[in-house]
């Protein structure tokens, strides 16, 4: 298979790229390197096209001669979208439409697009089911739902095979911890390794379906060939959830220190509870999470420890 991974130098995209290469596929990456990194890619084995999905021409160049497009290019983060909704919309919505139309124009067989559990917002239904209501509460969430809808419409109108995967709180190696918009797991791990108290927004009882990146990659690759997946939006999670306080407790155990977090007011636009019903993923993709939460955290911590400039056991053990 010849595959294009948009956003392939980023967090999930780079791990997907590596897995595709391991499985013997040819991979092209389209990335503007605004949040992705060259160091995430084995450049000797990957064709890297630097470019922005806001350009149809660039998307068209990247899609030429490709069988499957894995569309992961996006501007992530709910807080970032609150600060700059116009750019979030331009990349996540207009950019997705460019990728879809370029794929249609070049005869791509299927587009597997990264969506988000945030499309459910604060819907009262739990666990989240694809047939349930969506109620996005932030510009990022709206942009992912709009992009998802474009995928489904392009499938119906133009016949391009599309699948949208609603990822639930993916974490793991290569996730950016340096940005002010960093996700909770890398932000906590880095803070603790620096000997600092992690910051919890709210009282810590908000819960998330934390999904290890390797599980998400398994589902993504399965979605490229699953016969019954076309035209669907599918939850990718674990079917279980942990509170933020429980996350801190597990990190305390794994890092062998006493962690006392700092609490700040809750952030606008974030759902209080999120847990996936993964019945559809199990049925259509044959997806079963292979790596459990604690093992995923162990591997994530190991990676961050190896890639820090000056990791110190003393700092980890004395985190307050």
Give Cα 262 distance to the centre of its chain.
26
Element (H, E) at 168: none
Which is the catalytic residue, given 120, 140, 150, 287? 140
Token pair of 279 as six digits: 């019945």
CA-based nearest residue to 316, from 252, 247, 249 = 252
Pairing verdict, β 207-208 and 242-243: antiparallel
Return d(Cα 132, Cα 60) in angstroms, integer. 35
Do residues 81 and 138 lie in contact, with contact meaning Cβ atoms separated by under 8 Å? yes
Return d(Cα 301, Cα 63) in angstroms, integer. 36
The DSSP secondary structure of 198-244, one letter per residue, reads PEEESSS--EE--EEHHHHHHHHHHHTT-GGGTTEEEEES-S--EEH
DSSP state for residue 129 in the 8-state scheme: -
290 C-beta neighbours (distance < 10 Å), count: 10
DSSP state for residue 197 in the 8-state scheme: P
Return d(Cα 261, Cα 233) in angstroms, integer. 36
- Active site annotation includes 158: no
DSSP state for residue 276 in the 8-state scheme: B
Return d(Cα 302, Cα 300) in angstroms, integer. 5
Active site residues: 140
């Amino acid at each position: 298979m010849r595959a294009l991974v948009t956003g392939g130098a980023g967090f999930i995209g780079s791990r997907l790229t590596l897995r595709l290469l391991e499985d013997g596929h040819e991979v092209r990456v389209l990335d503007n390197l605004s949040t992705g990194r060259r160091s995430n890619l084995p450049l000797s084995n990957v064709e890297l096209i630097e470019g922005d999905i806001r350009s149809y021409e660039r998307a068209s160049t990247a899609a030429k001669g490709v069988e499957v497009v894995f569309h992961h290019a996006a501007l992530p983060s709910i807080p970032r979208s609150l600060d700059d909704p116009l750019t979030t919309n331009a990349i996540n919505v207009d950019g997705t439409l460019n990728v879809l139309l370029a794929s249609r124009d070049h005869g791509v067989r299927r587009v597997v697009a990264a969506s988000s559990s945030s499309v459910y917002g604060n819907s009262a239904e739990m666990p989240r089911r694809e047939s349930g209501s969506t109620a996005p509460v932030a510009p990022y969430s709206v942009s992912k739902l709009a992009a998802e809808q474009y995928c489904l419409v392009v499938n119906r109108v133009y016949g391009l095979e599309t699948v949208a995967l609603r990822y639930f709180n993916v974490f793991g190696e290569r996730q950016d911890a340096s940005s002010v918009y960093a996700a909770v797991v890398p932000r906590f791990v880095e803070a603790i390794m620096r000997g600092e108290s992690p910051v919890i927004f709210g009282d810590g009882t908000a819960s998330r379906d934390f999904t290890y990146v390797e599980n998400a990659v398994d589902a993504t690759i399965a979605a490229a060939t699953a016969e019954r997946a076309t035209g669907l939006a599918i939850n990718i999670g674990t079917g279980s959830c942990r509170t933020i306080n429980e996350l801190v407790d597990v990190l305390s155990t794994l890092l062998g220190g006493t962690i006392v977090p700092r609490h700040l007011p809750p952030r606008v636009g974030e759902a209080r509870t999120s847990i996936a019903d993964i019945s559809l993923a199990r049925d259509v993709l044959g997806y079963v999470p292979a790596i459990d939460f604690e093992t995923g955290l162990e591997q994530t911590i190991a990676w961050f420890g190896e890639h820090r400039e000056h990791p110190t056991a003393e700092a980890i053990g004395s985190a307050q």
